[in-house]
Structure 1
Amino acid sequence: MKITITGDLGSGKSTIAKILSEELNLKYLSTGAIQRDMARRYGMTTLELNNLADTNKDIDKEIDDNLRALNTLDKNFVVDSRLGWFFIPSSIKLYFLIDIEVAAKRIMNDSTRINETTYTTLQETMDSIILRKSSENNRFLKEYKADCSDYKNFDLTLNTTELKTITIARFIIKIINQKDFQKGVIWCNPKILFPTQNINETFNDDFIDLKDQINLTSPSSDYPISVFERRGKWAILDGHKRASIAIQNGVSLVPVRLIAKNEELLPNNISANKYFDDSIKASWLHDWEQANKFKFYSYPEVL
């Protein structure tokens, strides 16, 4: 079994990769480990190696060749690497997303990131994450024709916001064992989805009948909730009843389909940003919390 993990900064890639390594008895590998081994051979620190890679393309090529070699290696492993999915096409490819605000807080509080820039404000960290992700995606697309922004390239995509790493790891193992992959569907905690309608529209006459009919203790990827994004926050476009039932049933992960984000247009020809701003109301969020008996992890900045 070969598993490759990539995704957003601060999304828990390394932690979950190590859990999968232990649970599935797989060797844990990472780009960082490859770089540390190379640095020792070059007689320098990893930071010095990274600086050298800016002018010496042979460094990146050697890292890429190490990853390519893993594709034909007859061993079981899990790889934490931004381009592992591309260089090891025979692997089960996982992608992790996370709310930018949550990722920024994690990064600012993570003292182990000794070779990364130190940020003074949350906004500065968030802006840096956005720029770095865009820059890397563009570079990978230009140099390798590897599109990290297209989630259909991955066998399983998860939004790790408000989820415990062990919950994520066990869900991944379950999906792998069942071979229940469906590209284009993203799994997330239903408690991170913001409603765009009044709770009275959700709890209408057919809600109880629907709740009795739908068993969402184990949601199917065949019926994803439609969502859209504004700067890391996700809102429901269609599927309020399914989201509410999932929360009330204590479901940790539900399937969603991301229709549009930021300035991309929704089917109504309104940008995701504008529709988010127009549709998110503080009173609706409060009523949603009260009805489903939970509290949102964070609130949209538009409130």
Structure 2
Amino acid sequence: MIIAISGLHGTGKSTCAKALAEIFNLRYVSAGEMFREVAREKGFSIEELSKLSEIDKSIDLAIDERTRKEAEIGNVVLEGQLTPWIIANKGFKIYIAASKKDRIERISKRDGLTLEKAEKETLTRESSERKRYKEYYGINIDDLSIYDLIIDTSLFGKEETIKILEKIIKNIKSYLKEGKNK
């Protein structure tokens, strides 16, 4: 089974992805964590690496290739902006949404930033990602038509969202295992 989870920063996609990996005994792979690892290794902030990635596409391409290989292995929850496109016609694709206000508050709390700094960094990063993904791949990440399911975490608590996702996936699990989708 392959589950791809995507969404903007601060929506709760990592929380949902980790929980689903645990519930269904799947591996968890985060493209965002891979990006953060590269930033740490190079001594850059996320914002700085995002800007560098606008002129050096090898960073994104390396992360995408690793994500693609993880999908080929299977039995995985892949979390990241491009994962639905990377897995193409395999797996179940979930988009996690949340209001901008909720996203910024969550990021501020999670990263220990002021609301203003969290908003500036997040919007700068998302703008950079939109630009790169459009330029490098021709992908508009705001086009949600690729997704099988869209859920707004602003409407539900963390536990409720995870229970909803668990119930839906349990109901379609045999369909996903047999590879009948797409």
Q: How does the TM-score come out when normalised to structure 2?
A: 0.76
Match of 1:83 in 2: 82
RMSD: 3.0
Cα distance between partner residues in 1 of 2:42 and 2:72: 30
Q: Higher relative CO (CA 8 A, sep ≥ 6), structure 1 or 2?
A: 2
- TM-superposed deviation, 1:68: 2.1
- CA contact under 8 A between 1:16 and 1:166: conserved in structure 2? no
Which residue number in structure 1 is paired with residue 96 of structure 2? 96
Matched residue, 1:179: 172
Structure 1 unmatched runs, 5+: 113-117, 181-303
Equivalent position amino acid for 1:155 in 2:
D
Runs of 5+ unmatched residues, structure 2: 174-182
| C-alpha distance in structure 2 between counterparts of 1:53 and 1:128, whole Å | 15
Preserved CA contact (<8 Å) 1:17 1:78: yes
Partner of 1:34: 34
What is the count of residue pairs matched by the alignment? Answer: 170
Q: Report the equivalent of 1:168.
A: 161
What is the CA distance between 1:132 and its match in structure 2? 4.5
Alignment of 1:1-303 (within 5 A): 1-35=1-35, 44-45=42-43, 47=45, 50=49, 53=53, 55-73=55-73, 75-89=74-88, 90-111=90-111, 118-119=113-114, 121=116, 125-126=118-119, 129=122, 132-179=125-172
Call closer, same or farther: CA 1:172–1:120 in 2, change over 3 Å. Answer: closer
Contact 1:28 1:77 survives alignment (8 Å):
yes
| Greater percentage in helix | 2
CA offsets 1:63-110 (integer angstroms, 9 cap, x no match):
12112223322x301111111111112121111111111111112222
Cα distance in 1 for partners of 2:91, 2:138 equals 18
| Residue identity (%) | 29
* 1:65 maps to amino acid: E
Deviations 1:21-40 (A, max 9, x none): 11110111111443466679
